Amino acid sequence: MADAVIAISRFTQDMATELAGIPRAKSRVVHHVPDELPAPKLPLRLPKEFSSGRFFFYPANLWRHKNHRTLLQGFSEALRQDPSLRLVCTGSLLGREGDWNQWVDELGLSGHVIHLGKVSRAEISWLFQHARGLIFPSLFEGFGIPLIEAMQSRCPIACGSNTSQAEVASNAALYFHADQPTSIARAITRLAQDGSLRDGLIHAGSERLKEFTKQRFLQGHLEAFRLAQHRHSPTRRWINENIYHPASQPPRHALTEREKRIAASLLRERSQLPPSYEHVFQ
């Protein structure tokens, strides 16, 4: 029923258009901008052996699409090449501490992986600034705010090649296939060993961050507000109140088969990286 729709990425705009049927003419893409991180503070619960700068960082709640188990499998493979590596995770375990502990034990990662739970923004700032890199294996992102926070913190990025991540990171990331532990392992190993690659990604991230400015953010919202003002009319209001609103009342808990096919097609399309990107793992 909206007169205008703000999408946080072209990927979410595509989903809104092709999956939800929202006319593209009434949507505008407005990317997020990073919040300023506070002065860094060493996490209180971080063991000394993790503070040496040889750790990788992943901030995410333990939702299924955040793909922690596959990350741990990939990290286990990388660890065979370099036993000095460490992985620090933050975010809520959502009451699934048992699952997390079981995965760590099964893969023999005790002492190499630590989950700090929810931490302060100052501690997040420290982790970004001291990590060897951000490892971001999410299977689904509408945007991916940790990507621009890493750029802001001069932290090199390795992330999945799916959904919105290439749109946000562009050539400022080392890409891997997020559903393949071996691809994740290769990215971790290369990022750990190649200092020139890390420096190049940091520089590319600083340049890429110039695209995510407060001015563009504000201007994009103002354009969407003006669009809504232009499109609104008494007729549209009557249609909303008498047709769309009543039709929206019955609850839905699943996609239709047609919607599933559309979503699957969009996900396949967004799993392919543009050939011009330099740092791609196949």
The pLDDT of residue 282 is: 52
Asked if residue 119 and residue 79 are part of one domain, the reply reads yes
Q: What is the pTM of this model?
A: 0.93
Residue 93 lies in a domain: yes
20 — phi, psi (to 5°)? -95, -10
Where do we find the tokens 């050539």? 171
Residue 278 lies in a domain: no
Asked if residue 260 and residue 196 are part of one domain, the reply reads no
Residue 38 lies in a domain: no
Instruction: Read off the amino acid at residue 16.
Output: A
Q: How are beta strands 133-136 and 113-115 bridged, if at all? A: unpaired
pLDDT in tens, the chain (282 residues): 899 999 999 999 999 999 989 999 999 999 999 999 999 999 989 998 888 778 999 999 999 999 999 999 999 999 999 999 999 999 999 999 999 999 999 999 999 999 999 999 999 999 999 999 999 999 999 999 999 999 999 999 999 999 999 999 999 999 999 999 999 999 999 999 999 999 999 999 999 999 999 999 999 999 999 999 999 999 999 999 999 899 888 888 998 999 999 999 999 999 888 777 766 765
Q: What is the CATH number of the domain that holds 132?
A: 3.40.50.2000
Domain that holds residue 243: 5-32+213-247+255-269
Which residues are bridge partners to 110 per DSSP? 113
The pLDDT of residue 277 is: 78
Asked if residue 152 and residue 16 are part of one domain, the reply reads no
Asked if residue 57 and residue 28 are part of one domain, the reply reads no
| Alpha carbon distance 93, 67 (integer Å) | 13
Asked if residue 117 and residue 17 are part of one domain, the reply reads no
What tokens were used for 95? 């009451």
The pLDDT of residue 252 is: 86
Give the max Cα distance, the chain: 67
Residue 162 has a CB neighbour count (10 Å cut-off) of: 23
Q: Are 43 and 91 a contacting pair, CB within 8 Å?
A: no
Number of domains in the chain: 2
Asked if residue 239 and residue 146 are part of one domain, the reply reads no
| Alpha carbon distance 18, 11 (integer Å) | 10
Residue 77 has a CB neighbour count (10 Å cut-off) of: 17
Residue 53 lies in a domain: yes
The pLDDT of residue 268 is: 92
Asked if residue 74 and residue 159 are part of one domain, the reply reads yes
* DSSP helix/strand/coil, 140: coil
